[in-house]
């Protein structure tokens, strides 16, 4: 189906139901971008591809699917959206009978704890909220931090995290399973952490995500953080023109090495007055620090 649709967007609805539901409770529509091995790398809520009218139709379909299946507890119903505005068409893709990795963006814009609700319902209790009490405020973006090399077709990386420092601050959340000094192996998924940011608007959330990624140093292995920075700064991401072929369409510009950072330019400017004092035979440094690691993290 996906191949026959014209640049569809992917949208997911978080769904929770009571042990004996008269109705299912629905969450907020979110959208996602996926990279080469078909793993999601960026998710956001609300979805840029879903208008208010379309959101009501999609949520109604998600609730109907849950009720028809007699589903209990938390899950995510995913759709492909074709077109724009309230008249856009959408098609059922799948239902994941669990909370997905990107449930955090729904939590951020609704202020509810979906994991707590999942445990409560599984224990035979009721949901901690009613549908009428759910409201959506602001915008949330989740970036998945992977140990992989985007320039080499996203090949997973292995090695020791020589430096691993998580950013912090208002509107920043990190869900991670690693710490500085541990070895990242080859036997598990390369996902290191999730960076979730929340702000009053999509523009502010994007700026916050970029700032947080710039304060997320990881050394010892390659990660997709530079790729994420180029993605969030891309004009087509900024204007919300996202679809399932977005990364394929813009991969060349996203993979291309980024220009020097402001910090690097400042360091170069500071070193410039001393350039004349350096021996003529002084070795020139390579622009890629990874080339000097003698296979470390390759």
- Tens of pLDDT, residue by residue over 37-82, are 557 899 999 988 888 899 889 989 988 988 888 888 888 888 888 8
Answer yes or no: are the C-beta atoms of 76 and 12 closer than 8 Å: yes
Which DSSP letter does residue 98 get?
S
Distance of CA 128 to the CA centre of its chain: 27
Tokens of 232: 């969030």
Contacts of 247 (CB under 8 A, 6+ apart): 33, 34, 35, 36, 231, 254
Query: Which has the higher per-residue pLDDT, 293 or 246?
Result: 246
Other Cβ atoms closer than 10 A to 213: 20
What is the pLDDT, as a whole number, of residue 69? Answer: 87
Residue boundaries of the structural domains of the chain: 2-255
What are the Cα distances from residue 130, in Å, to 3, 90, 102?
38, 26, 22
Element at 31 (helix H, strand E): strand 25-34
Among all residues, which ones are annotated catalytic? Answer: 98
pLDDT mean over 280-288: 49
Tokens of 54: 């379309």
Q: Is the pLDDT of residue 143 over 80?
A: yes
pTM here is: 0.77
What is the pLDDT, as a whole number, of residue 15? Answer: 65
Grouping H, G, I as helix, E, B as strand and the rest as coil, residue 181 is coil
Where do the H-state alpha helices sit in the chain?
52-68, 103-110, 114-122, 202-214, 225-232, 235-238, 246-255, 262-271
Q: Which CATH superfamily is domain 2-255 in?
A: ATP-grasp fold, B domain (3.30.470.20)
What are 88-130's pLDDT values in tens digits? Answer: 999 998 888 888 888 899 999 999 999 998 888 888 888 888 8
């Amino acid at each position: 189906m996906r191949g026959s649709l014209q640049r569809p967007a992917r949208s997911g609805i978080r769904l929770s139901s009571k042990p004996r539901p008269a109705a299912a409770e629905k969450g907020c529509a979110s959208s996602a971008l996926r990279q080469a091995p078909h793993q999601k790398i960026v998710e956001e809520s609300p979805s840029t591809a879903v208008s208010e009218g379309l959101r009501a139709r999609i949520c109604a379909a998600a609730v109907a699917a849950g009720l028809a299946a007699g589903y209990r507890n938390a899950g995510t119903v995913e759709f492909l959206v074709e077109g724009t505005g309230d008249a856009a068409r959408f098609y059922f893709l799948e239902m994941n009978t669990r909370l997905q990795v990107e449930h955090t963006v729904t939590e951020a814009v609704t202020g509810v704890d979906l994991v707590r609700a999942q445990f409560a319902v599984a224990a035979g209790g009721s949901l901690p909220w009613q549908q009428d009490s759910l409201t959506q405020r602001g915008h949330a973006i989740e970036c998945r931090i992977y140990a992989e090399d985007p320039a080499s077709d996203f090949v997973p990386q292995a090695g020791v995290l020589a430096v691993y420092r998580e950013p912090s601050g208002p509107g920043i959340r990190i869900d991670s399973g690693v710490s500085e000094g541990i070895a990242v192996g080859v036997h598990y998924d390369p996902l290191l952490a999730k960076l979730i940011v929340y702000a009053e608007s999509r523009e502010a959330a994007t700026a916050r995500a970029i700032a947080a990624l710039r304060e997320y140093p990881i050394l010892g292995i390659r990660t997709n953080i530079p790729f994420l920075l180029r993605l969030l700064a891309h004009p087509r991401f900024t204007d919300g023109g996202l679809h399932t072929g977005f990364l394929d369409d813009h991969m060349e510009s996203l993979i291309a090495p980024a220009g020097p950072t402001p910090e690097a330019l400042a360091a170069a400017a500071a070193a410039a007055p001393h350039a004349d004092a350096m021996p003529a035979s002084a070795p020139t440094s390579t622009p890629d620090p990874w080339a000097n690691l003698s296979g470390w993290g390759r």
